[in-house]
Amino acid sequence: MRLLALGVALALPLGACGDAGTSSTETATATSTTTVPAAKGELIFFNPIRLPSGVTVNRVTLQRGKPEPPSWSAKLGRRNGDDKFRDVVAVSVTQPGKPREISPSEEKASRRVDVNGQRALASDTPFAGATVSWYQDGYEVGVTGKRGAGDDVLAVARRVKLAEAGHAEKTRLNGTPPGMELIGEWGTTGYPRNRYSISAVGDEAHRGIALHMEVNVFPDGFPAHLLGFGSESETTRQVRGHDAYVSHHSTEVGGRKIEQVTLTWAERPDLVVTIGGVMSEDDAVAVAEGLRGETEQEWRSHLPVEDRE
C-alpha cells in the first residue's frame, strides 16, 4: 500500500492553478474521453487532456507485473455530519525489507517519541502535516494527520497492533482514541503491482508541481477512499458515473493559505484513480471528466513514460 507515499507526494509545495483549460496533449473532440476497455487486473491508460491552464505533464512512471508485498492501511476520524469526517488520520504499514534512509534534514526537523516501547520519529510540517513513523520487525509504519494534530497522530500510532513478522496485512488497531472512529481499513498481499503515476507542472506563471495522478490495480472491493490524502471533512460527488471521495487539506505558509484537494474513485471494482493538487474541487473534477482512455501504444507515443521495476 502506498498511502503514506501518496500523501506526501500530494503535500509538496504545489503551484497555484488557473481555470481548467486544455493541455498541449488534447487533440481530440469532446467524445475522446471514451474509455478503452481493459480486462480485470489490467490497467486503463488515461491521458489527462483537460489540465488546468498553463499546466503540462512532465513525468509518467509505470510499474507492472511484480507482486506487491503485504501491506495494510486504515483511516480514522471524528464524525462531522452524515458520512463526513474531520481530523482524519491515516495509517500505512508496509514491508520494505530494510529501514528507509533518514536524511539529516528529516532527522533535524523531527523529534523522538515512544510508541509502545519503539523509538519513532515525529514531525509537524506545513505540507506533510503531523507524522509519526518507525521501523519495527521488518515493517515500515507511518501515521499522518493535519498540521497541529500531533497528539491525535501519536494516539493512533500507539493503537497500531502489528502482526507476526511477514504479515503486514494482518495489522489491526487496538481500539480507537476517544472521539475517533474507524472510517475504513484494508489488508492486501501478493497482488500484481500494476500502477502508474502522472505528474504535471505549471509554466512560469504557475510554478511548482500542480497536479499528481495515480492509477492502481487493487483486489476487487478495495475501499478507494483509503487513498485520498486529506484531513478535513470528506464528502462524495459523482465523477465519470462513479462515487468519488473528495478530501481537502489546508495549511498556511508565510501567511499564505494553501488549499489542496484529492479526488479518488473506483473506475472499475479493481482499478482506483486518484487526482490531487492545489486547485479547486471543480478543477479536479474537470481533469477527471477529461481523462481519455487510450491503448498503451497511443499513451506511450505522447507521454514521457519511464518504466520501473
pLDDT digits (tens, 9 = 90+) for 74-99: 999 888 776 678 888 999 999 987 88
pLDDT greater than 90 at residue 219: no
Q: What is the pLDDT of residue 224?
A: 77
Q: Among 4-18, 195-209, 254-268, 282-296, name the most confident range.
A: 282-296
Residue that terminates a domain, selected from 148, 169, 188 = 188
Residue range(s) defining the domain that contains residue 85: 71-188
Taking all residues of the chain, what is their mean pLDDT, rounded to a whole number?
Answer: 81
- Both 211 and 75 in a single domain? no
Look at residue 3 and tell me if it is in a domain. no
For 109, phi and psi rounded to 5 degrees? -85, 0
Residue that terminates a domain, selected from 188, 216, 242 = 188
Residue 7 to residues 40, 220, 230: CA-CA distances in angstroms? 27, 23, 8
For 110, phi and psi rounded to 5 degrees? -115, 165
Q: Is 163 helix (H, G, I), strand (E, B) or coil?
A: coil
- Both 225 and 144 in a single domain? no
The mean pLDDT of 188-213, rounded to a whole number, is: 79
Cell (9 digits) for 103:
536524511
- The identity of residue 168, as a single letter, is A
Give residue-wise pLDDT tens across range 261-285: 889 999 998 999 999 888 888 889 9
Q: Is 69 helix (H, G, I), strand (E, B) or coil?
A: coil
**Greater confidence, 6 or 259?**
259
- Both 113 and 177 in a single domain? yes
Give residue-wise pLDDT tens across range 153-195: 999 999 999 999 889 999 999 999 999 999 889 898 877 779 9
- The identity of residue 68, as a single letter, is E
Residue 228 to residue 39: CA distance in whole angstroms = 25
- Both 237 and 276 in a single domain? yes
Q: How many domains does the chain have?
A: 2
Cell (9 digits) for 248:
481537502
Residue 142 to residue 122: CA distance in whole angstroms = 10
- Both 50 and 127 in a single domain? no
pLDDT band, residue 295 (cuts 50/70/90): very high
Look at residue 289 and tell me if it is in a domain. yes
pLDDT greater than 60 at residue 17: no
CATH number for position 109: 3.40.1000
Look at residue 1 and tell me if it is in a domain. no
- Both 261 and 165 in a single domain? no
Q: What is the pLDDT of residue 211?
A: 87
**Greater confidence, 127 or 213?**
213
Out of 5-19, 26-40, 212-226, pick the least confident.
5-19
